[in-house]
């Protein structure tokens, strides 16, 4: 009887972990950056290679960093939501063009619309790695002090924007 008890206990524990895991939302990936300063970097802008951007440039503003790429299929799904969000001017949206070539990225924005205040170009993906990006699209909400307050993995939806991002931005702006 004892020789069956240990495998049974291991089986029950594994089933418990599986049950808990199935209840988790895969879009809500815990980020070690939540509540911590956004990683510092300096990159050139996509459309103006001689213009530089650093998160320090956004101090005093609540803003969104949206990681995208012209080769990203899910970014096509998300893009109309970003365009609509930018029309409402809830917060500046900075695009991070991730592991992409400049010309296809510019052409993609020209074809689909450009919701970004501007995009920055992360050709080798180093900034994305610093932010813990493992796929695109991903979106970060960063507060006035430069602290990451939210990370959304995957395409933004109208529901995520209206129920999570807009209320959080309003709260961070003291509205």
Write the pLDDT tens digit of every residue in 30-58. 667 799 999 999 999 999 999 999 999 99
Q: What pLDDT shows up at residue 112?
A: 96
> CA-CA distance, 168 to 141, in Å (whole number)?
8
| DSSP symbol at 161 | I
Q: What pLDDT shows up at residue 33?
A: 78
Band (pLDDT 50/70/90 cuts) for residue 2 is: low
Q: What pLDDT shows up at residue 163?
A: 97
Alpha helices in the chain (DSSP H): 2-23, 73-87, 102-112, 126-130, 158-160, 166-172
| Helix, coil or strand: residue 38 | coil
Residue 118 pairs in a beta bridge with: 94
Q: Which helix (H) or strand (E) holds 139?
A: strand 138-142
Half-sphere exposure for 164 (CA within 13 Å, toward CB): 16
pLDDT digits (tens, 9 = 90+) for 92-124: 999 999 999 999 999 999 999 999 999 999 999
Q: What pLDDT shows up at residue 32?
A: 72
Greater confidence, 14 or 85? 85
Its pTM stands at 0.83
**Is the pLDDT score of 26 beyond 60?**
no
Instruction: Kindly tell me the burial class for residue 62, based on how many C-beta atoms sit within 10 Å of its own C-beta (0-12, 13-18, 19 or more).
Output: buried
CATH number of this structure's domain 28-172: 3.40.30.10
Instruction: Give which of 126, 117, 106 is closest to 65, Cα–Cα.
Output: 117
pLDDT digits (tens, 9 = 90+) for 134-171: 889 999 999 999 999 999 999 999 999 999 999 999 99
Which stretch, 6-15, 66-75, 129-138, has highest mean pLDDT?
66-75
First-to-last alpha carbon distance for the chain, in angstroms, is 65
| DSSP symbol at 37 | B
Are the C-beta atoms of residues 112 and 32 closer than 8 Å to each other?
no
């Amino acid at each position: 009887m004892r020789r069956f008890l240990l495998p049974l206990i291991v089986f029950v524990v594994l089933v418990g972990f599986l049950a808990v895991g199935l209840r988790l939302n895969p879009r809500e990936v815990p980020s070690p950056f939540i509540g911590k300063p956004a990683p510092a970097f300096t990159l050139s802008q996509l459309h103006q290679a001689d213009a530089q951007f650093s998160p320090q440039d956004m101090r005093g503003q609540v803003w969104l960093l949206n990681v995208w790429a012209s080769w990203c299929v899910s970014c096509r799904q998300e893009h109309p939501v970003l365009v609509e969000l930018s029309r409402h001017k809830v917060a500046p949206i900075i695009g991070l063009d991730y592991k992409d070539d400049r010309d296809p990225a510019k052409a993609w924005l020209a074809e689909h619309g450009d919701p970004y205040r501007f995009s920055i170009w992360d050709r080798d993906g180093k900034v994305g790695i610093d932010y813990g990006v493992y796929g695109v699209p991903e979106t970060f909400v960063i507060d006035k002090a430069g602290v990451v307050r939210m990370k959304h993995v995957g395409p933004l939806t109208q529901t995520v924007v209206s129920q999570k991002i807009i209320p959080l931005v309003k709260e961070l702006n003291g509205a």
